[in-house]
Chain A
Amino acid sequence: MTEKMLEVDDLTCRFDGVTAIADLSFDVSVGEIKAVIGPNGAGKSTLFNVIAGVTRASSGQVRFDGERIDQLPTFRRARRGIARTFQNLQIFREMSVLENVMVGRHTHGATGLMQAIVHGPTLQAEEHAIASAAMDLLNRFGLAGKADAQAGTLSFGELKMLELARALACEPRLLLLDEPVAGLPRAEADQMSEIISGLNREGMTVLLVEHNMRMVMSLSHDILVLNNGYRIAEGTADEVRRNREVLAAYLGEVEDA
Protein backbone atom coordinates (compact mmCIF):
# COMPACT_ATOMS: atom_id res chain seq x y z
CA MET A 1 0.00 0.00 0.00
CA THR A 2 1.41 3.38 -0.96
CA GLU A 3 2.21 5.80 1.79
CA LYS A 4 -0.11 8.72 2.19
CA MET A 5 1.58 12.08 1.98
CA LEU A 6 -1.49 14.06 2.87
CA GLU A 7 -4.69 12.90 4.54
CA VAL A 8 -7.80 15.01 5.00
CA ASP A 9 -10.42 13.59 7.39
CA ASP A 10 -14.01 14.82 7.75
CA LEU A 11 -13.02 18.39 7.10
CA THR A 12 -15.70 21.01 7.61
CA CYS A 13 -15.24 24.70 7.20
CA ARG A 14 -17.92 27.19 8.11
CA PHE A 15 -17.79 30.99 8.04
CA ASP A 16 -20.56 33.36 9.02
CA GLY A 17 -23.26 30.86 8.20
CA VAL A 18 -21.80 29.70 4.88
CA THR A 19 -20.48 26.15 4.76
CA ALA A 20 -17.54 26.28 2.40
CA ILE A 21 -16.45 22.67 2.91
CA ALA A 22 -18.61 19.85 4.28
CA ASP A 23 -17.30 16.58 5.74
CA LEU A 24 -14.62 16.20 3.12
CA SER A 25 -12.22 13.28 3.27
CA PHE A 26 -9.55 12.38 0.78
CA ASP A 27 -5.85 11.70 0.60
CA VAL A 28 -2.86 12.25 -1.59
CA SER A 29 -0.42 9.38 -2.07
CA VAL A 30 3.32 9.83 -2.13
CA GLY A 31 4.52 10.61 -5.63
CA GLU A 32 1.15 11.33 -7.16
CA ILE A 33 -0.22 14.44 -8.84
CA LYS A 34 -3.71 15.10 -7.58
CA ALA A 35 -5.91 17.86 -8.93
CA VAL A 36 -8.86 19.51 -7.23
CA ILE A 37 -11.43 20.88 -9.63
CA GLY A 38 -14.95 22.20 -9.43
CA PRO A 39 -17.07 25.15 -10.48
CA ASN A 40 -16.63 28.54 -8.82
CA GLY A 41 -17.60 28.57 -5.20
CA ALA A 42 -17.00 24.85 -4.85
CA GLY A 43 -14.64 25.37 -1.96
CA LYS A 44 -11.33 24.74 -3.73
CA SER A 45 -9.61 27.90 -2.48
CA THR A 46 -10.89 27.35 1.02
CA LEU A 47 -9.60 23.79 0.97
CA PHE A 48 -6.21 25.00 -0.11
CA ASN A 49 -6.11 27.67 2.52
CA VAL A 50 -7.04 25.16 5.22
CA ILE A 51 -4.33 22.73 4.17
CA ALA A 52 -1.79 25.54 3.93
CA GLY A 53 -2.76 26.95 7.29
CA VAL A 54 -4.10 30.34 6.26
CA THR A 55 -7.63 29.42 7.38
CA ARG A 56 -8.74 27.34 10.35
CA ALA A 57 -11.19 24.52 9.77
CA SER A 58 -14.27 24.25 11.96
CA SER A 59 -13.74 20.53 12.45
CA GLY A 60 -11.82 17.64 10.99
CA GLN A 61 -8.17 16.75 10.64
CA VAL A 62 -5.37 17.27 8.21
CA ARG A 63 -2.40 14.93 8.44
CA PHE A 64 0.89 15.30 6.64
CA ASP A 65 3.10 12.22 6.51
CA GLY A 66 1.07 10.76 9.35
CA GLU A 67 1.35 13.78 11.63
CA ARG A 68 -1.53 16.14 12.41
CA ILE A 69 -0.88 19.62 11.09
CA ASP A 70 -4.25 21.31 11.27
CA GLN A 71 -3.41 23.12 14.51
CA LEU A 72 -0.07 24.38 13.28
CA PRO A 73 0.57 27.87 11.93
CA THR A 74 1.47 28.14 8.26
CA PHE A 75 5.19 28.54 8.68
CA ARG A 76 5.49 25.34 10.70
CA ARG A 77 3.73 23.41 7.98
CA ALA A 78 6.18 24.87 5.49
CA ARG A 79 9.05 23.73 7.67
CA ARG A 80 7.64 20.20 7.73
CA GLY A 81 7.87 20.07 3.96
CA ILE A 82 4.79 21.64 2.42
CA ALA A 83 5.49 24.45 -0.03
CA ARG A 84 2.81 26.47 -1.66
CA THR A 85 2.33 28.83 -4.58
CA PHE A 86 -0.43 31.40 -4.78
CA GLN A 87 -3.05 32.11 -7.37
CA ASN A 88 -2.48 35.84 -6.97
CA LEU A 89 1.29 35.53 -6.58
CA GLN A 90 2.85 36.57 -3.30
CA ILE A 91 6.22 37.50 -4.65
CA PHE A 92 8.54 39.90 -2.85
CA ARG A 93 8.27 42.49 -5.56
CA GLU A 94 10.72 45.03 -4.18
CA MET A 95 13.46 42.45 -3.77
CA SER A 96 15.50 41.09 -6.62
CA VAL A 97 14.71 37.86 -8.42
CA LEU A 98 17.74 36.20 -6.87
CA GLU A 99 16.85 37.40 -3.39
CA ASN A 100 13.35 35.99 -3.75
CA VAL A 101 14.75 32.53 -4.25
CA MET A 102 17.41 33.05 -1.60
CA VAL A 103 14.69 33.79 0.93
CA GLY A 104 13.22 30.42 0.01
CA ARG A 105 16.36 28.86 1.45
CA HIS A 106 15.69 30.48 4.81
CA THR A 107 14.73 27.32 6.64
CA HIS A 108 17.88 25.59 5.44
CA GLY A 109 20.13 28.09 7.14
CA ALA A 110 21.35 27.73 10.68
CA THR A 111 22.97 31.01 11.58
CA GLY A 112 21.44 33.08 14.34
CA LEU A 113 21.30 36.77 15.18
CA MET A 114 24.72 36.88 16.82
CA GLN A 115 26.37 35.21 13.88
CA ALA A 116 24.61 37.58 11.52
CA ILE A 117 25.89 40.59 13.41
CA VAL A 118 29.44 39.33 13.83
CA HIS A 119 29.59 38.14 10.22
CA GLY A 120 32.22 35.51 10.77
CA PRO A 121 33.29 32.65 8.50
CA THR A 122 30.23 30.49 9.30
CA LEU A 123 27.87 33.17 8.09
CA GLN A 124 29.93 33.95 5.04
CA ALA A 125 29.98 30.29 4.08
CA GLU A 126 26.24 30.06 4.56
CA GLU A 127 25.67 33.12 2.40
CA HIS A 128 27.75 31.57 -0.40
CA ALA A 129 25.80 28.33 -0.13
CA ILE A 130 22.45 30.09 -0.22
CA ALA A 131 23.33 32.28 -3.19
CA SER A 132 24.70 29.32 -5.08
CA ALA A 133 21.67 27.13 -4.44
CA ALA A 134 19.41 29.98 -5.48
CA MET A 135 21.39 30.51 -8.65
CA ASP A 136 21.08 26.83 -9.52
CA LEU A 137 17.33 27.09 -9.27
CA LEU A 138 17.23 30.23 -11.37
CA ASN A 139 19.27 28.47 -14.02
CA ARG A 140 16.86 25.61 -14.00
CA PHE A 141 13.91 27.93 -14.55
CA GLY A 142 15.59 30.08 -17.16
CA LEU A 143 15.56 33.16 -14.97
CA ALA A 144 19.30 33.42 -14.32
CA GLY A 145 19.71 36.26 -16.76
CA LYS A 146 17.28 38.31 -14.70
CA ALA A 147 18.75 37.38 -11.33
CA ASP A 148 19.45 40.95 -10.57
CA ALA A 149 16.25 42.53 -11.79
CA GLN A 150 13.64 43.75 -9.38
CA ALA A 151 11.05 41.00 -9.13
CA GLY A 152 8.24 43.43 -9.81
CA THR A 153 9.52 44.05 -13.33
CA LEU A 154 9.08 40.46 -14.48
CA SER A 155 6.25 39.34 -16.70
CA PHE A 156 3.37 37.40 -15.23
CA GLY A 157 4.60 34.10 -16.64
CA GLU A 158 8.10 34.71 -15.32
CA LEU A 159 6.67 35.53 -11.90
CA LYS A 160 4.81 32.24 -11.83
CA MET A 161 8.11 30.50 -12.55
CA LEU A 162 9.82 32.54 -9.88
CA GLU A 163 7.27 31.62 -7.26
CA LEU A 164 7.68 27.97 -8.13
CA ALA A 165 11.46 28.29 -7.93
CA ARG A 166 11.10 29.94 -4.55
CA ALA A 167 8.85 27.14 -3.35
CA LEU A 168 11.34 24.54 -4.53
CA ALA A 169 14.12 26.31 -2.66
CA CYS A 170 12.47 25.06 0.53
CA GLU A 171 13.09 21.45 -0.63
CA PRO A 172 9.51 20.46 0.05
CA ARG A 173 8.02 16.99 -0.17
CA LEU A 174 4.57 18.23 -1.10
CA LEU A 175 3.83 21.07 -3.47
CA LEU A 176 0.53 22.88 -3.18
CA LEU A 177 -0.01 24.68 -6.46
CA ASP A 178 -2.83 27.20 -6.54
CA GLU A 179 -3.91 27.62 -10.16
CA PRO A 180 -0.37 27.32 -11.56
CA VAL A 181 -1.33 28.15 -15.12
CA ALA A 182 -4.17 30.60 -14.61
CA GLY A 183 -3.63 33.64 -16.77
CA LEU A 184 -0.83 32.09 -18.81
CA PRO A 185 -0.90 31.85 -22.60
CA ARG A 186 -0.92 28.37 -24.08
CA ALA A 187 2.82 28.01 -24.67
CA GLU A 188 3.78 29.08 -21.16
CA ALA A 189 1.04 26.95 -19.65
CA ASP A 190 2.44 23.93 -21.46
CA GLN A 191 5.91 24.80 -20.25
CA MET A 192 4.71 25.02 -16.67
CA SER A 193 2.89 21.74 -17.09
CA GLU A 194 6.12 20.15 -18.33
CA ILE A 195 8.02 21.43 -15.34
CA ILE A 196 5.46 20.09 -12.89
CA SER A 197 5.50 16.76 -14.66
CA GLY A 198 9.29 16.71 -14.52
CA LEU A 199 9.30 17.49 -10.81
CA ASN A 200 6.86 14.69 -10.23
CA ARG A 201 9.03 12.24 -12.14
CA GLU A 202 11.79 13.08 -9.68
CA GLY A 203 9.54 12.17 -6.79
CA MET A 204 7.63 15.36 -5.89
CA THR A 205 4.07 14.91 -4.66
CA VAL A 206 1.75 17.57 -6.03
CA LEU A 207 -1.71 18.77 -5.06
CA LEU A 208 -3.06 21.38 -7.37
CA VAL A 209 -6.16 23.45 -7.95
CA GLU A 210 -6.87 24.30 -11.55
CA HIS A 211 -9.54 25.40 -13.98
CA ASN A 212 -7.58 24.51 -17.09
CA MET A 213 -9.13 21.13 -17.95
CA ARG A 214 -6.65 20.22 -20.62
CA MET A 215 -3.80 20.51 -18.23
CA VAL A 216 -5.63 18.78 -15.41
CA MET A 217 -6.67 15.82 -17.55
CA SER A 218 -3.24 15.28 -19.07
CA LEU A 219 -1.17 15.85 -15.96
CA SER A 220 -2.99 14.38 -12.97
CA HIS A 221 -2.98 10.83 -11.72
CA ASP A 222 -6.09 11.46 -9.70
CA ILE A 223 -8.77 14.12 -9.68
CA LEU A 224 -11.04 15.27 -6.89
CA VAL A 225 -14.18 17.13 -7.93
CA LEU A 226 -15.88 19.48 -5.51
CA ASN A 227 -19.19 21.27 -5.72
CA ASN A 228 -20.72 23.42 -3.02
CA GLY A 229 -18.24 22.15 -0.50
CA TYR A 230 -18.95 18.48 -1.12
CA ARG A 231 -16.97 15.86 -3.00
CA ILE A 232 -18.97 14.76 -5.99
CA ALA A 233 -16.42 12.56 -7.73
CA GLU A 234 -12.91 11.25 -7.36
CA GLY A 235 -10.89 9.17 -9.75
CA THR A 236 -8.78 9.14 -12.87
CA ALA A 237 -9.26 11.62 -15.67
CA ASP A 238 -11.31 9.17 -17.71
CA GLU A 239 -13.59 8.29 -14.82
CA VAL A 240 -14.19 11.92 -13.95
CA ARG A 241 -14.74 12.98 -17.52
CA ARG A 242 -17.65 10.62 -17.88
CA ASN A 243 -19.23 11.24 -14.50
CA ARG A 244 -22.78 12.56 -14.79
CA GLU A 245 -22.73 14.59 -11.65
CA VAL A 246 -19.54 16.30 -12.68
CA LEU A 247 -20.99 17.27 -16.02
CA ALA A 248 -24.15 18.45 -14.37
CA ALA A 249 -22.20 20.56 -11.92
CA TYR A 250 -20.31 22.32 -14.67
CA LEU A 251 -22.88 22.50 -17.40
CA GLY A 252 -26.23 22.23 -15.73
CA GLU A 253 -28.53 19.29 -16.40
CA VAL A 254 -27.25 16.88 -19.03
CA GLU A 255 -29.73 15.56 -21.53
CA ASP A 256 -29.88 11.85 -22.00
CA ALA A 257 -28.00 10.98 -25.14
Chain B
Amino acid sequence: MQISAVVLQLLVAGIGTGSIYALIALGFNVVFKSTGAMNFAQGEWVVMGGMISAALFASASSVGLACLLAVILVAIFGLLSERLVIWPLRRPTALMITLVSIGLAICTRSFVMLTLGKKPVGYPGFSGEATVSLGGATFQAQTLWVVGLTLAFLVVMHFFFERTMLGKALRAAAADREAAAIVGVKVETTILISFGIAAFAGALAGAIITPLTLASYDQGAMFGFKGFSAAMLGGIGSLPGAVVGGLVLGLLEVFGSFYISSDFKDAIAFAILLLILFVRPSGLLGRPDIVKV
Protein backbone atom coordinates (compact mmCIF):
# COMPACT_ATOMS: atom_id res chain seq x y z
CA MET B 1 0.00 0.00 0.00
CA GLN B 2 1.35 3.35 -1.00
CA ILE B 3 0.92 6.08 1.57
CA SER B 4 1.79 9.44 0.16
CA ALA B 5 4.47 11.40 1.94
CA VAL B 6 1.99 14.10 2.83
CA VAL B 7 -0.38 11.73 4.53
CA LEU B 8 2.50 10.16 6.41
CA GLN B 9 3.66 13.57 7.54
CA LEU B 10 0.19 14.46 8.73
CA LEU B 11 -0.16 11.10 10.43
CA VAL B 12 3.02 11.58 12.43
CA ALA B 13 2.12 15.15 13.28
CA GLY B 14 -1.34 14.05 14.32
CA ILE B 15 -0.06 11.30 16.56
CA GLY B 16 2.41 13.72 18.08
CA THR B 17 -0.24 16.34 18.79
CA GLY B 18 -2.58 13.61 19.88
CA SER B 19 -0.07 12.34 22.43
CA ILE B 20 0.05 15.74 24.05
CA TYR B 21 -3.72 15.93 24.19
CA ALA B 22 -3.79 12.42 25.60
CA LEU B 23 -1.46 13.41 28.43
CA ILE B 24 -3.53 16.47 29.27
CA ALA B 25 -6.74 14.47 29.05
CA LEU B 26 -5.25 11.88 31.34
CA GLY B 27 -4.41 14.47 33.96
CA PHE B 28 -7.90 15.84 33.60
CA ASN B 29 -9.50 12.45 34.02
CA VAL B 30 -7.46 11.50 37.07
CA VAL B 31 -8.70 14.55 38.95
CA PHE B 32 -12.22 14.07 37.63
CA LYS B 33 -12.32 10.49 38.82
CA SER B 34 -11.29 11.38 42.33
CA THR B 35 -13.33 14.57 42.77
CA GLY B 36 -15.98 14.75 40.07
CA ALA B 37 -14.68 18.23 39.31
CA MET B 38 -13.36 19.81 36.11
CA ASN B 39 -9.89 21.03 36.89
CA PHE B 40 -9.27 24.30 35.08
CA ALA B 41 -5.68 24.46 36.28
CA GLN B 42 -4.68 21.49 34.15
CA GLY B 43 -3.67 23.61 31.17
CA GLU B 44 -1.61 25.95 33.33
CA TRP B 45 0.50 23.03 34.53
CA VAL B 46 1.33 22.27 30.90
CA VAL B 47 2.59 25.81 30.45
CA MET B 48 4.57 25.62 33.66
CA GLY B 49 6.24 22.44 32.49
CA GLY B 50 7.46 24.11 29.35
CA MET B 51 8.47 27.42 30.84
CA ILE B 52 10.28 26.04 33.88
CA SER B 53 12.15 23.63 31.63
CA ALA B 54 13.26 26.59 29.58
CA ALA B 55 14.35 28.53 32.65
CA LEU B 56 16.30 25.57 34.03
CA PHE B 57 17.89 24.88 30.68
CA ALA B 58 19.31 28.37 30.73
CA SER B 59 21.36 27.41 33.79
CA ALA B 60 21.87 23.68 33.31
CA SER B 61 23.21 22.39 30.00
CA SER B 62 21.27 19.19 29.58
CA VAL B 63 17.79 19.49 28.15
CA GLY B 64 16.76 16.14 29.54
CA LEU B 65 17.80 17.04 33.06
CA ALA B 66 16.10 20.44 32.89
CA CYS B 67 12.85 18.84 31.77
CA LEU B 68 12.98 16.13 34.39
CA LEU B 69 13.55 18.62 37.16
CA ALA B 70 10.87 20.91 35.82
CA VAL B 71 8.28 18.14 35.70
CA ILE B 72 9.08 17.09 39.25
CA LEU B 73 8.86 20.69 40.42
CA VAL B 74 5.47 21.15 38.81
CA ALA B 75 4.23 17.91 40.32
CA ILE B 76 5.23 19.23 43.73
CA PHE B 77 3.50 22.48 42.87
CA GLY B 78 0.38 20.47 42.10
CA LEU B 79 0.56 18.74 45.47
CA LEU B 80 1.01 22.05 47.24
CA SER B 81 -1.90 23.57 45.36
CA GLU B 82 -4.16 20.79 46.51
CA ARG B 83 -3.19 21.25 50.13
CA LEU B 84 -3.52 25.01 50.03
CA VAL B 85 -6.64 25.35 47.98
CA ILE B 86 -8.69 22.14 47.82
CA TRP B 87 -8.05 20.59 51.19
CA PRO B 88 -9.34 23.57 53.26
CA LEU B 89 -12.72 23.49 51.52
CA ARG B 90 -15.52 22.95 53.95
CA ARG B 91 -17.84 21.51 51.32
CA PRO B 92 -15.67 19.91 48.67
CA THR B 93 -18.48 19.40 46.18
CA ALA B 94 -17.61 18.93 42.54
CA LEU B 95 -18.86 22.42 41.73
CA MET B 96 -16.85 24.04 44.51
CA ILE B 97 -13.67 22.30 43.48
CA THR B 98 -14.29 23.31 39.88
CA LEU B 99 -14.74 26.94 40.89
CA VAL B 100 -11.69 26.86 43.12
CA SER B 101 -9.64 25.34 40.32
CA ILE B 102 -10.52 28.41 38.27
CA GLY B 103 -9.01 30.60 40.97
CA LEU B 104 -6.04 28.30 41.09
CA ALA B 105 -5.64 28.55 37.33
CA ILE B 106 -5.71 32.35 37.49
CA CYS B 107 -3.14 32.43 40.27
CA THR B 108 -0.93 29.90 38.54
CA ARG B 109 -0.99 31.80 35.29
CA SER B 110 -0.18 35.12 36.89
CA PHE B 111 2.53 33.49 38.97
CA VAL B 112 4.13 32.20 35.79
CA MET B 113 3.72 35.56 34.11
CA LEU B 114 5.27 37.45 37.00
CA THR B 115 8.20 35.11 37.57
CA LEU B 116 8.98 33.87 34.10
CA GLY B 117 7.82 36.74 31.94
CA LYS B 118 5.50 37.11 28.97
CA LYS B 119 7.96 36.27 26.25
CA PRO B 120 7.59 32.89 24.55
CA VAL B 121 10.51 30.60 25.34
CA GLY B 122 11.95 27.44 23.86
CA TYR B 123 14.84 25.07 23.89
CA PRO B 124 16.30 22.40 21.62
CA GLY B 125 14.83 18.94 21.50
CA PHE B 126 16.28 15.91 23.28
CA SER B 127 18.16 14.95 20.17
CA GLY B 128 19.08 18.50 19.34
CA GLU B 129 17.91 19.64 15.91
CA ALA B 130 17.97 16.16 14.44
CA THR B 131 15.34 15.18 11.91
CA VAL B 132 14.17 11.80 10.77
CA SER B 133 13.19 10.77 7.26
CA LEU B 134 10.75 8.00 6.65
CA GLY B 135 8.93 7.14 3.47
CA GLY B 136 9.49 10.53 1.95
CA ALA B 137 8.31 12.45 4.98
CA THR B 138 10.62 14.39 7.22
CA PHE B 139 9.89 15.26 10.80
CA GLN B 140 11.67 16.42 13.91
CA ALA B 141 13.18 13.74 16.11
CA GLN B 142 11.42 15.46 18.98
CA THR B 143 8.10 14.20 17.65
CA LEU B 144 9.35 10.66 18.18
CA TRP B 145 10.39 11.62 21.68
CA VAL B 146 6.93 13.01 22.30
CA VAL B 147 5.25 9.78 21.24
CA GLY B 148 7.81 7.60 22.98
CA LEU B 149 7.72 9.42 26.30
CA THR B 150 3.94 9.56 26.26
CA LEU B 151 3.84 5.83 25.68
CA ALA B 152 6.32 5.25 28.50
CA PHE B 153 4.23 7.38 30.84
CA LEU B 154 1.06 5.51 29.91
CA VAL B 155 2.74 2.20 30.63
CA VAL B 156 3.86 3.48 34.02
CA MET B 157 0.35 4.74 34.73
CA HIS B 158 -1.17 1.43 33.75
CA PHE B 159 1.23 -0.37 36.04
CA PHE B 160 0.52 2.11 38.82
CA PHE B 161 -3.22 1.78 38.68
CA GLU B 162 -3.34 -1.95 38.07
CA ARG B 163 -0.51 -3.31 40.15
CA THR B 164 0.32 -1.02 43.04
CA MET B 165 -1.64 -0.70 46.28
CA LEU B 166 -1.67 3.07 46.00
CA GLY B 167 -3.05 2.96 42.50
CA LYS B 168 -5.77 0.56 43.48
CA ALA B 169 -6.59 2.74 46.45
CA LEU B 170 -7.10 5.66 44.10
CA ARG B 171 -9.38 3.61 41.88
CA ALA B 172 -11.33 2.41 44.88
CA ALA B 173 -11.82 5.91 46.22
CA ALA B 174 -12.91 7.08 42.79
CA ALA B 175 -15.41 4.27 42.40
CA ASP B 176 -17.04 4.53 45.79
CA ARG B 177 -15.82 7.01 48.32
CA GLU B 178 -17.59 5.61 51.33
CA ALA B 179 -16.74 2.00 50.68
CA ALA B 180 -13.10 2.91 50.21
CA ALA B 181 -13.07 4.87 53.45
CA ILE B 182 -14.49 1.87 55.26
CA VAL B 183 -11.62 -0.31 54.15
CA GLY B 184 -9.13 2.25 55.30
CA VAL B 185 -8.41 4.33 52.21
CA LYS B 186 -7.90 7.96 53.13
CA VAL B 187 -9.89 9.87 50.56
CA GLU B 188 -8.11 13.19 51.11
CA THR B 189 -4.81 11.51 50.36
CA THR B 190 -6.14 10.04 47.13
CA ILE B 191 -7.26 13.48 46.03
CA LEU B 192 -3.82 14.86 46.87
CA ILE B 193 -2.13 12.18 44.83
CA SER B 194 -4.43 12.64 41.85
CA PHE B 195 -3.48 16.29 41.76
CA GLY B 196 0.19 15.31 41.85
CA ILE B 197 -0.26 12.86 38.99
CA ALA B 198 -2.30 15.34 36.96
CA ALA B 199 0.31 18.06 37.42
CA PHE B 200 3.06 15.62 36.45
CA ALA B 201 1.22 14.55 33.30
CA GLY B 202 0.52 18.16 32.34
CA ALA B 203 4.06 19.28 32.94
CA LEU B 204 5.41 16.34 30.98
CA ALA B 205 3.23 17.33 28.05
CA GLY B 206 4.47 20.90 28.23
CA ALA B 207 8.11 19.94 28.59
CA ILE B 208 8.18 17.63 25.60
CA ILE B 209 6.16 19.78 23.22
CA THR B 210 7.97 23.06 23.82
CA PRO B 211 10.91 22.33 21.47
CA LEU B 212 8.29 22.07 18.71
CA THR B 213 5.88 24.88 19.60
CA LEU B 214 7.53 27.25 22.12
CA ALA B 215 5.90 27.91 25.46
CA SER B 216 4.23 31.10 26.56
CA TYR B 217 2.31 32.03 29.66
CA ASP B 218 -1.09 32.42 28.02
CA GLN B 219 -1.36 29.06 26.28
CA GLY B 220 -2.78 27.35 29.33
CA ALA B 221 -6.41 27.95 28.52
CA MET B 222 -6.25 26.49 25.03
CA PHE B 223 -4.27 23.44 26.19
CA GLY B 224 -6.74 22.87 28.98
CA PHE B 225 -9.81 23.10 26.79
CA LYS B 226 -8.42 20.89 24.10
CA GLY B 227 -7.33 18.30 26.63
CA PHE B 228 -10.80 18.55 28.11
CA SER B 229 -12.37 18.00 24.68
CA ALA B 230 -10.15 14.97 24.23
CA ALA B 231 -11.24 13.62 27.59
CA MET B 232 -14.91 14.11 26.67
CA LEU B 233 -14.34 12.51 23.30
CA GLY B 234 -12.85 9.41 24.85
CA GLY B 235 -15.34 9.30 27.67
CA ILE B 236 -14.83 11.47 30.70
CA GLY B 237 -13.24 9.61 33.59
CA SER B 238 -11.96 6.81 31.41
CA LEU B 239 -8.17 6.54 31.36
CA PRO B 240 -7.91 4.52 28.15
CA GLY B 241 -10.50 6.96 26.82
CA ALA B 242 -8.07 9.81 27.38
CA VAL B 243 -5.59 8.11 25.09
CA VAL B 244 -8.12 7.32 22.39
CA GLY B 245 -9.70 10.74 22.64
CA GLY B 246 -6.38 12.53 22.53
CA LEU B 247 -5.16 10.64 19.49
CA VAL B 248 -8.41 11.03 17.59
CA LEU B 249 -8.54 14.73 18.39
CA GLY B 250 -4.92 15.26 17.39
CA LEU B 251 -5.35 13.45 14.10
CA LEU B 252 -8.63 15.20 13.28
CA GLU B 253 -7.12 18.56 14.06
CA VAL B 254 -4.02 18.03 11.93
CA PHE B 255 -5.85 16.50 8.98
CA GLY B 256 -8.69 18.99 9.26
CA SER B 257 -6.33 21.90 9.40
CA PHE B 258 -4.56 20.72 6.26
CA TYR B 259 -7.49 19.63 4.13
CA ILE B 260 -10.20 22.02 5.28
CA SER B 261 -8.75 25.20 6.67
CA SER B 262 -5.99 26.15 9.04
CA ASP B 263 -7.74 29.32 10.19
CA PHE B 264 -10.47 27.31 11.77
CA LYS B 265 -8.09 24.80 13.31
CA ASP B 266 -9.04 25.71 16.85
CA ALA B 267 -12.71 25.42 16.08
CA ILE B 268 -12.24 21.82 14.96
CA ALA B 269 -11.60 20.55 18.46
CA PHE B 270 -14.73 22.20 19.73
CA ALA B 271 -16.89 21.25 16.81
CA ILE B 272 -15.95 17.66 17.53
CA LEU B 273 -16.81 18.17 21.17
CA LEU B 274 -20.26 19.42 20.24
CA LEU B 275 -20.77 16.58 17.82
CA ILE B 276 -19.88 14.02 20.44
CA LEU B 277 -22.22 15.61 22.93
CA PHE B 278 -25.09 15.54 20.54
CA VAL B 279 -24.50 12.06 19.25
CA ARG B 280 -22.78 10.05 21.93
CA PRO B 281 -22.30 11.99 25.15
CA SER B 282 -20.65 9.17 27.01
CA GLY B 283 -17.75 9.37 24.59
CA LEU B 284 -16.15 6.69 22.47
CA LEU B 285 -15.24 4.42 25.35
CA GLY B 286 -17.55 5.60 28.08
CA ARG B 287 -20.65 3.88 29.42
CA PRO B 288 -23.92 5.80 29.57
CA ASP B 289 -24.86 6.97 33.05
CA ILE B 290 -27.44 4.98 34.92
CA VAL B 291 -29.28 6.71 37.73
CA LYS B 292 -30.58 4.40 40.44
CA VAL B 293 -33.48 5.39 42.60
Contact = CB atoms under 8 A, between A and B. Distances in A.
A and B found bound together: yes
Interface of A: 45, 49, 54, 86-88
Interface of B: 293
B95 to A, nearest CB: 14
Contacts of B293: 45, 49, 54, 86-88
Nearest to B291: A54
A87 B292 CA distance: 12
Tell me the interface secondary structure of chain B in the complex. Answer: loop
Nearest to A49: B293
A87 B293 CA distance: 9
Contacts of A87: 293
A54 B293 CA distance: 8
Contacts of A86: 293
A22 B293 CA distance: 20
A49 B291 CA distance: 11
Contacts of A45: 293
B93 to A, nearest CB: 13
A113 to B, nearest CB: 26
A88 B292 CA distance: 11
A45 B293 CA distance: 9
A46 to B, nearest CB: 10
A88 B293 CA distance: 8
Closest 6 CB pairs of A and B: A54-B293, A49-B293, A86-B293, A45-B293, A88-B293, A87-B293
A10 B96 CA distance: 47
6 contacts: A45-B293, A49-B293, A54-B293, A86-B293, A87-B293, A88-B293
A77 B143 CA distance: 58
A49 B293 CA distance: 8
Contacts of A49: 293
Nearest to A52: B293
A86 B293 CA distance: 8
A200 to B, nearest CB: 25
